[in-house]
Structure 1
């Protein structure tokens, strides 16, 4: 079954590198596994090229038999674990997530239900990997973000619930950066700056590249994790994308981008609607709590709320804001 999962992951991602990341193994190890599988079957299943891996005709035939077997085995594992948990008198909620400040409050609210709910957390920079783990029964649900213009690969059968349809992405720059004195920053104000982005986060590198190209900029892009990016931004070496809920720091300025050119969709994914019902309310409460604790985001939400006409279809609906005057959230 492990070999069948390997074949499905390579086919789904189209890349040994991406499949290795999704499966949580090193790429050389995955390459060795694939060669071992092909030797056992006596035929080549994938064509390797600079652009990635694609199944051979025989590979497609094997995959057509492998996918239902993998799905059925995942269902057996999920149902067995759930039955064992119920028999033991408890329920362990296995949560996966990409980075979000809402996570601590979410877990705290779930634990407050009592000892019968014991959430565990697995973090991953790859939303696609987490969704695959939910589909395979290795996680019960995943809280992920989908970068605008870079759709996630949603496995068949997963249920989705949207927390925020479009969360604006802000920019983080040094507190003494010339643009930091403005309430919102234009991309043109950053034309001379280098950007640092974590390219291992699904869609983020491509998303920022698209936005910069659309603005007519050819900015230098550096690869790096966001902890490093924040440290370098503080001394003026780079600017970086940040979630609007990022906490304020005295050495950094977190500002909206003029026109909100870059956004993400926040999703909770699970195998059943009942699973979503079980955890979504606490996630929603936790998210809007941290949203109102972030000064720049709180001001952005207030402006958006004030500009949205309630009678217009699609007008902004912000829990905790629409129920009272906008200034009350300040």
Structure 2
């Protein structure tokens, strides 16, 4: 049996009602029929969705996962149906005539800031975003014309994906910092040597770029191999650091967060470059200088929100954290010529 939208509605109705009896009444079904349908759904998904008890039902871990997805999928389908109906009546989709920008980004700090600035400066522009852990997926979608811009990061001087088919602007570059629990023995230090963390477990977000290899190489240069690396989402990384389970890697712009501190790594062994990519012949190319300007403003705001990064920059009067001279109307191809003063200790 293939899972259908009606099955998701049934699962949500059971969870909302808290019992099969109440859910059957709400759905206009007999309870035995609902129970049989639930069993078929559970067989299709590979496990029980609800624990049955005298006081009703409670979602299992699998049930909670399915419910989370259902609460995203069902409203989205409802909105699709409503927009399709509006299109059928009017002959044009909602928002027709408005300019739109389709921006793909990894789960970094700048995408939200970019959307905010475009919305403030150009309220007539509709911004559509797509996020993915895969830099290659985002770049490929931009090459194919499904996205207007790709906002990703690269490690050090590594070339971004699709270098021959996309034009890349380096928007900013930051040192990579380490996240420590507030009570960590090294938390009071102004900076931390990578080798001092040799016995720690690490946590970081996933990706298909070369950052994991660059980190492993930096650890080898520091004389150790990481004990373990947990690749997970940002919220889980923060939690693992806060409870002392791991130390984390983060961009220097990571905002101040209760329960943890961010500290520079001595000698700046890792650097992160924020890159904006576009297809050279895409219509959105005309907006590239303005979009890059919004991104630089978003990056400066992110720096201001990070007390540790602001202090690090203040201690290095000659350091720069964003791109220097922009060439060719806002485009610096293949990594560009931005100054690299912050690489020094």
Q: TM-score range, shorter-chain basis? A: 0.5 to 0.7
2:141 — aligned with what? 133
Q: Distance in 2 between matches of 1:98 and 1:307?
A: 26
Contact 1:97 1:122 in 2 (8 A): yes
Q: Distance in 2 between matches of 1:268 and 1:149?
A: 15
SS in 2 for 1:182: coil
1:204 — aligned with what? 211
Task: Verify: 1:101 aligned to 2:113, yes or no.
Answer: no
Task: Verify: 1:293 aligned to 2:300, yes or no.
Answer: no
Q: Distance in 2 between matches of 1:110 and 1:260?
A: 33
Contiguous gaps of at least 5 residues in structure 1:
1-83, 319-330
Would you say how many aligned residue pairs link Structure 1 and Structure 2?
229
Given the alignment, which residue of 237, 240, 247 partners 1:239?
A: 247
Q: Distance in 2 between matches of 1:151 and 1:89?
A: 37
Contiguous gaps of at least 5 residues in structure 2:
1-91, 321-336
Q: Distance in 1 between matches of 2:201 and 2:157?
A: 22
Q: Distance in 1 between matches of 2:207 and 2:113?
A: 26
Contact 2:319 2:341 in 1 (8 A): no
Q: Distance in 2 between matches of 1:317 and 1:292?
A: 19
TM-score by length of 2: 0.61
CA-based RMSD: 2.5
Cα distance, 1:279 vs structure 2: 1.1
Task: Verify: 1:167 aligned to 2:167, yes or no.
Answer: no
Cα distance, 1:149 vs structure 2: 6.1
Contact 1:197 1:204 in 2 (8 A): no
Task: After superposing the two structures, state which structure 1 stretch, 287-296 or 222-231, moved more.
Answer: 222-231
1:254-298 Cα offsets, whole Å, 9 max, x none, are: 111000101121111111342412411111111111111210111
Q: 1:264 to 1:307 in 2, by over 3 A?
A: closer
Alignment of 1:119-130 (within 5 A): 119-130=127-138
Q: Distance in 2 between matches of 1:276 and 1:303?
A: 33
Q: Distance in 2 between matches of 1:188 and 1:156?
A: 38
Task: Verify: 1:250 aligned to 2:258, yes or no.
Answer: yes
1:64 — aligned with what? none
Find the structure with the greater CA-based Rg. Answer: 2
TM-score by length of 1: 0.64
Q: Distance in 2 between matches of 1:229 and 1:211?
A: 20
Cα distance, 1:316 vs structure 2: 6.3
